[in-house]
Every structure is written in structure tokens, then in C-alpha cells.
Amino acid sequence: MILRVGHLYPEYLNIYADRGNIAVFVRRAAARGHELRVEEVTLGTPLRPGAHDLLYVGGGQDREQAMIAPDLAARREAIRAAVDGGAALLAVCGGYQLLGRGYRGRDGSWLEGAGLFPHETVAGETRMIGDVLLESALPEAPGRTIAGFENHAGRTVLDPGAEALGRVVAGYGNDGSSRLEGCRVGRAFGTYLHGPLLPRNPWLADLLLSWAVAHATRGAPEALAPLADELEAEAHAVAAGRARSRGGRPA
């Protein structure tokens, strides 16, 4: 079948090889006989209701984030409708921040967000950088671990009761103190994990793809046929080992 992906602002939000997450989606969908059609949604491009089974927002530098933030915030209703309608969504770093309520700069300025995720971000004095290892907080993946790389100065604070993507085993996470990382709303995930994220965590890619398939078929999510993921498992093990050797870090 054809799976429709909306890649938001790819020319502005593409740092730390985050575009590689799209490549993983394409390859793993094709391995199950599905075709992934990627549409770029950028400044001046409409986000059509029901047009996508999966949305993706990458990370960017502060300048690029400030450029696209008003446009993204103006799409808040369309993004919420897509997620409420069962589409999958993955947002990384800058995209994760801007899909919250907003970002408070060190100078006190406020960058309005799209309001999908129940959190706010404030600029910190120092950057939080290094390999990260999470214990999955997803009921669909108990006992799984998620490995990636973080590089952010923003401190993202989840609202009480908000669902995290994972609990920090090693690294900083959302804010360096809560031991929580990422956020989940329905079939939408936000995270600070770069690297890119999905080559080291193929099961997470498959979970999002299974939701995209369910949206495309208007059916219930079903697990995808397993693939031979020896290289991916090795990449995960190497990243997890680096994170464990790093250990926890204070904010």
C-alpha cells in the first residue's frame, strides 16, 4: 500500500542527520511491500486535512527555529486534527520544542509553539550533550531501551501527568533533573534524541509505521512482520554502551 508522509520544513529543520529517520521509514516500509511517499510541507505549503498517515518534524538551529515557528504555530489545529484522527507523528529536538506550548529564551522572549505536547521549554545556561539511554515508558514496548544522542540547551518541563517517551538510564533527558525524556500524545512522539534516532531503534520506527498503516487502512494497529536487524542491534548496543559509560549527569 501507499503510506503518505508529511515532512515539515525539511530545508530548515535537518540537523544531526535527522533526515536519516525518513530513510529508515522508507526502507522498512519497502521491506514489507509498502511504498512511502514523502511530501515536503514547508513555508507557504498547506497541511491538508487527512492527507498524511505520518508526520515528521526534525531539529534545527535557533535561527531556523525562529524562522518557521510562527508558521508551525499557525498549523496547531491541523496538526492536532491529524493526531486526533490517528496519524502517527515523530518530532525531534527543535521540532519537539516547537510542538509544545512555546520556548522562553534567555532574554525573556517567548516563541509560541503549536501546543500539541503538554510542555514548555526554557533556555538553559549550558548545553546538555552526549549519548543517551532510556528505558521505554511506552506500554507497547515494556522492557525496551532507546539509544540516541542529545545536544540541547533548552530545558523542557512536562505538565503533571504528561506521558514521557522514556526514563533516563544515562544522560540528561528533558531537563537534566526529572529523569524523564520525550513526550507522547496519542500516536505522536517528541524527543531530544538525535543520531539519527531510528537506525539504532528500529522497533520504534516499526511502531510508528504500524500506526501509519492503521491510519491508511482505517483499521486497528497490527505488528509488522519482523526484519533481520542484526546491524541495527549492533548499532544500538554500541550507542547504549557509550551512554552507560557516560552515566548520569546533573543539570
Per-residue pLDDT of the chain (251 residues; tens, 9 = 90+): 999 999 999 999 988 788 899 999 999 999 999 999 999 999 999 999 999 999 999 998 889 999 999 999 999 999 999 999 999 999 999 999 999 999 999 999 999 999 999 999 999 999 999 999 999 999 999 999 999 999 999 999 999 999 999 999 999 999 999 999 999 999 999 999 998 999 999 999 999 999 999 999 999 999 999 999 999 999 999 999 999 997 655 43
pLDDT reported for residue 250:
44
Out of 34, 152, 194, 236, the active site residue is 194
Question: How many Å apart are CA 58 and CA 246, to the nearest integer?
Answer: 25
Question: How many Å apart are CA 15 and CA 188, to the nearest integer?
Answer: 20
Is 171 a member of any domain?
yes
Is 52 marked active-site? no
Is 117 a member of any domain?
yes
Query: Against a cut of 0.95, is the pTM above it?
Result: yes
Is 251 a member of any domain?
no
Is 138 a member of any domain?
yes
Question: How many Å apart are CA 197 and CA 204, to the nearest integer?
Answer: 9
Is 183 a member of any domain?
yes
Out of 7, 34, 52, 93, the active site residue is 93
Residue 196, preceding peptide bond in cis (omega within 30° of 0): yes
Residue 215 DSSP one-character state: H
Q: Which three cell numbers stand for residue 78?
A: 491541523
Give the SS3 label for residue 169.
strand
Reading phi first (left if > 0) and then psi (alpha if -120 to 50, else beta), residue 112 is in: beta
Q: Smallest Cα–Cα separation from 41: which of 71, 2, 81?
A: 71
Segments forming the whole domain that contains residue 116: 2-246
Neighbouring residues of 77: CB distance < 8 A, sequence distance ≥ 6: none
Question: Any idea what the CATH number is for the domain that residue 45 is in?
Answer: 3.40.50.880
Is 109 a member of any domain?
yes
Is 183 marked active-site? no
Question: Sign of torsion, CA 114 116 122 127?
Answer: negative
Alpha helices in the chain (DSSP H): 20-30, 62-74, 76-84, 94-98, 202-217, 230-246
Split into its structural domains, the chain has a count of 1
pLDDT reported for residue 246:
79
